Structure 1
Amino acid sequence: MNNMEIDNQMPSDRTPEGKFSIPVIAVIGLPLLTLLILVFIGFGLTLRDHRSELTKAYSERMSKAVALDLGRQLSDLITPVEQYVDGVTRQIKAAGCKTTACVNSLIQKEYLKPDLVPLQIAGIRFGGMDGRLNGAFRYQEKQVEFAGRFDSIEDNPSRFAVTLAGRELFSFVFDLYSQGWYQAGMIGKSAVWSAPYHGDNANNLCQQGALQDWSLTRIVRIDDPDGKPLGVLGADMCINEIGALFKRVTSGHTVEKISIITPSTERIFIENEKVTVSPALLPVQEADAIPLGSGDLHRWRVAVTLDPGLSQQIAWDWRQISLLLAGFLISIILTALTASLVVKPLMKLSRAVTDVGDLKLETPISISTGIKEIGLLASVIERMRFVLHRNQTRLEFLAYHDPVTGFLNREGLARAFDLASTREGHVDLILIKVRNYHQIASVFGDAVLTRLLIDRINTVRTMFEGGVVGCLNNNQIACIFQSSEGIDIAHMQQVLAAMRLPYEDNGIRILLNIAGSVSSKHGQIELFDSLLRRANEAMHYAEETKSEDAVWYNPALIQDLRAVLDFGGDITQAIARGEFLVVYQPIVELRTGQIVEAQASVVWHHPEFGEIRSHKFMPILKRNGSIRHLGLFVMSRAFEFLHDFKRRSPDKKLLIGVKLSYAQLMDPLFVERVTELQAEWNISAPEVNFIITQNTAMLEDQQIFRVMRKLRKLGFSLTIDQFAMAHSTVNGTTALQYDGMMIGPDVYRGIEQPGVERIILEAACELARKLGMERIAVGIDNHAIIQPLIECGCSFGRGPWFGKSIDEQTFLARYDENAAMFTDEVVS
């Protein structure tokens, strides 16, 4: 878009027709009036809420005071029972009883001293480990003597007899071990209170009077001197005492209702003049329930409900209404005064802003006002006017220079090339690419990468004296060099050698992977974009062939790539003609050398150019979309191969690895195609490992993320390479659970000796391990690197050392040889 088009799109300064023009007094006055009214309303509401809070605080303090008083009274009620049970327990321990008979004899002595037993205790019982229960009870309230007895029948412990004054009242079948009080007592050695219960005649000794239906039992386990349990001692207390306590507390007009919540969530309360115990069906808030804090009942809580009149919400009164009306009038007056002081300076300021927007910067902005903020705003706009010219100069600089390094960018280089083209001589464009810049940035940070680029740009400027040097992106240095005869090969070799020297920064030593290309000007009329395109094509060829020397652009040199680029036929026809062959490369476990996976790739047997490896034609097929057809073919052949392998060797396991491209994952029917092939060849999802490489955008694209998430849910394994992991965001890397990470030679080069390279690899492997990923080193071409890779944390490996990509039959033969080695080891 040129400047004229931009000017034509500039908005008009006229007010659009058909729209309202709101005066500034309304813009300022109405919000201010509203704000002031809201302030006074808020003040009234705050005052009302404050009074309500005071009432609420009083109610809470009243509830706590009632609860504490109840706790003290309840403590006075139950403390004698606790002390009595503790005393009997000490007597039994002092006697050194080893049998239940000994314990029963001591307890019977207690029956004979009823005046020493607190009146709160309605009965004493002892259940032995032999299943027998013996005890005595007071038949009437406040009766001192223990007139009643209950004992297991001598010849039939499973039956239970109740006698009163020596006369048997009744007997029935009784299972001591199923009783809750007995089970609770056997759990620990300390004395505890049982949960409230309303049981049968065997359990409940509180059957007289309106408040005598529920009981509590103080229980403790009795052990012999060797620590072996003999049984459980229990002292029953009728809750009618608690009921009487409740009635006294609620007899006034302060407390409406009071209840105790036990640790087992039972609620004890008065209902219809009767003590009632029920589960706490409604949740009890911690703020409503107060701990008793008495004895071992510290886990019991009391909930107090005050009379509704004490916590009633305070209503509006005439004073608050009058305050709000006065606030409304004051708000109107203040709004009118403020508007008169603000509107006129704001109108002047509006005209000044309009002038600055139209770039009419000659007239200084001067506004006299007593309002500090408007004066400050006018001063800021004046500084903006002053800074605009300086910023224009800076913007012009940034338009032709890289903002990070300060060297020429693409536009600056293009302008420099146009100036060089007007002079006589040979003009060359040299591109030098730092191929491992992603790894450098991810490990050492962008700041180190920037300093490295500046250092190498200065090196290029030194070796091409008089040349124009710039930075095209984060990893590519460009130099426009004019000479009489052009650059020779020897000079470029010296330049690349100097560029490949390790870079040292604050004790860090970084190895560089450098590639270079050269493109020369053809003819008098030449565009920089054409020269740069040819240099990039030569750079692409240098990277594909892994050339150590610089590559000069030569159409004949890369005609095979151009032929593939110009390929216009239907890729499905080439597949149907059998021009593509799927090959498999083994992935082995580094420690053992056992083959665990076969990674599928494809070779094109072109009728004109012969065998073309995938790294040459895959990028082109990815760009024109044909990769979808070829990818489906490779996946189908890989699944068929795995199916044949399972049928041939059902007792062995082998994973199949298949690479996925951006275009494949963008196919909306990709997951359906995968599941169809899976069903056709009877392949289980965990046997397939999909590999995502060399495209970090794939980890960020939401459509692709949804496809990969579906694959993950289906059970397929996902593996990414270290390149993609290092340059994606944290969300892109961790949003899915990946199963593996592939690590290339650029990362593990030079790890045979201790140094920075080894530390980098160890850090990458440790990160992958913490994320639950297997570490797979690729490109292994010698045995000496294997042990250092294992020491750094790599588990698996692939590369020429373990075998190149081979056809199905050759791979199966190779797998059989490898498997036989491990079979022989197991047998031996």
Structure 2
Amino acid sequence: METDSGKSLDTSRQRIFGVPVVAVIGLPLLALLIVLFLGFSLILQTQRTDLTKTYADRTAEFLARDIANQLGHLVTPLEEYADAFASRVKAAGCSNAECVFSFIEADRATPERVPIQVSVLRFGASNGHLLSVFKIKETDRDFKGQGKTQSDNPSRLLVTRPDRPMQERDFNLFERGWYRGGIVGRTPTWSAPYVVNNTSDLCASTQGSVWTMTRVLPIFGPDRKPLGVLALDMCVNRISAFLSSATGNTVQEISVFTPSGEELSVSGGQFTIGRDTSKISADLGNAVSLDKFDLKGWRVVVTLGDELSAKADWDWYYTAVCLIGLAISIALTAWAASFVVNPLMRLSRAVTDVGNLNLDTPISVPTNIREVGLLASVIERMRLVLQRNQTRLEFLAYHDPASGFLNQAGLVKEYDLLVGKEGQIDLILIKICNYHQIASIFGDEVLARMISSKIDKLQATLAGGVVGCLNNNLIAYIYPSDEGVDIPLMRKMLAEMRLPYENEGIRISPVIACSVAQKQGQIEPFGSLLRRANGAMYHAEDTKSEDAVWHNSALIQDLRAALDFGGDITRAIGRGEFSVRYRPVVDLRTGRICEAHTSVIWHHPEFGDIKSHKFIPIFEQNGSILHLGLFIMSRAFEFLHNFKKYYPDNKLLIGIKLSFPQLMDPLFIERIRELQAEWGVNASEVNFIISQNIAMLDDQQIFRVMRRLRDIGFRLIVDQFAMSHSTVNGAMALQYDGMMIGSEAYRNIDQPGPERVILSAVCELAGKLDMERIAVGIDTHAIIEPLVKCGCNFGRGPWFGHSGSEQEFLSRYDENAAMFSNEPAH
């Protein structure tokens, strides 16, 4: 009873003295809360305005990127057709203008081969002649018009079209801007839009001006000399129609800026082209480049409509409602003011965190005040949405969206976290060299699955690192360790990576190249490490190395400058800087050594021993290969002479690689005959190896030298790569005695599969042409029997011995000969 009476008394007192308490305590508190609320509202409104601007800018950029892709698709058919046209001319071996003209006439007869965007197709030859076919109307499919110079007078141009009589006019091809640009540039280019003055309605626009663009690319003959310039015109009306269709309420204006100052603009459904050179180098905000579509320097800018670009307005109604509700709530519950302060403080911190994008801590504001709880829940939902968006944006910033693996930005972030720790950091690059072939045959999805499978094998073999994909064929692995990556473990990993990928009936043999760069110093950035790894990767691909290639700054960066000199290579030969090495070739069916292939090493006084693949290409360019090649042949003939003294009853062939500059030497045959007479060498004991594209045999000088070598009695060996990349005439021009087959042709044949079928087909072709089959790069005994079953007669590689000096080769020959005789070799 006392309790009940006490409660009644307190209630009555509260009713009596409640108003003064509210007036003294509640009103100042209300004023303070109103001020705070307005401050919070201002912060939220400011953040809302900033977010609106940010999203508007991003939306404009995304739309510009999409429009740029669509513009790229408009011009891509012309680029692909032009490149295909040049490839067809190259494949046909055209060496004059009439040959190129015939391709234009053929495409004119079959206009469905030519993209609909092409309005004019013309070729200007280096001798001044021109053949041009053009449409009468932009919507035509056929090229009814033709312009062609007279066959005996390139200064007279005959223009014919079905609706007008033939016209004859003066003409000078060399004064045409598109022709001069193609000859000088030597790379495919697009011209800026320009006005063409003609009397036809081709490319006609509603404004009365005729605007067009030209795709220009040079055409080269087999000797790499320019035959002339191919030019394809495209009416700008197609771009105008596309840009006009892309504008509306959402997109207010689209502007395309060219590197020469033209602005293609669509605003309010009106397409205009103006020129303002001040915008050539101006910063255009969120402009999107069209460089990847070969439109160098072109930029697209999108201006959004008011509905997307307008700033967020201040919502006074919502603010007023909140203030009234807050005032009434505080007036009626002044006694609970202490319970309001703490939730509002927490809410203030939460709003600040949300405004500063500190979104990790959930918003928890326990309160019985509905408005405060509602506001807290709204801000919590905002926090969750922003957190999801932030997480997604961070994921996209550091990961490839298709595969989910780290991209280069993500690798940089992980590298920065590791760089301060003790120990060594290695960047391992693994490249799928035949990715283009895999993607074209099986598709990008199969390629992505195969790369994911290979990454799993990489992480299983080299655990503890960070993996990412730099593109669709290059895997990057940041590997921290105490003393650097272990070489035997690397070889094991590469062996696992090279195993065929099998899934859903698909069996793919990837061609893998690998390079490694080690962190130098404590503050080396990731970009520097990646550049050195890419440099090593270049050499890994160039040498087709089975092992990983470590970056060597002295060899990779300074070697070319040291080699690319104009000095006398004969002095280096005289100083004994070059030595010829011999590698054994064995009969795969018996294991007997039957041939020695030569190579050369340069004992450079500054860089040490340099293998031939590093300097031979340079010597071929500067002419030093003539002296070095003569030195190699002299040493090889001397070696064969000495061998016959040691083994008068045994026969050994010697293999010498030739380059085309040697075959172009008019004294080449005479020098070989002199060496042959000096050392008493039988021509049938010498195999000359041709390892480059034998389509070069179209050169009559080379053809005569090769035929002369055959007439003398020397044997000619061609490698499988050269044969596969040659023309039929080049391959059949001479009867070759043998074919060298590289390891990429017989990889994984130790297991039954399509690789064996392909190799058997290659060997069967060589057998029908009466050619020996020599497999190179054999590094394991397991593939010898499959090679013999597929038809390979002979082989060489690390399994049979590396290149060595003359004495080292003879010692190995002694050991090999002892296996086939009970008597010592000599």
Which of structures 1 and 2 has the bigger CA Rg? 1
Question: Which TM-score band (shorter chain)?
Answer: 0.3 to 0.5
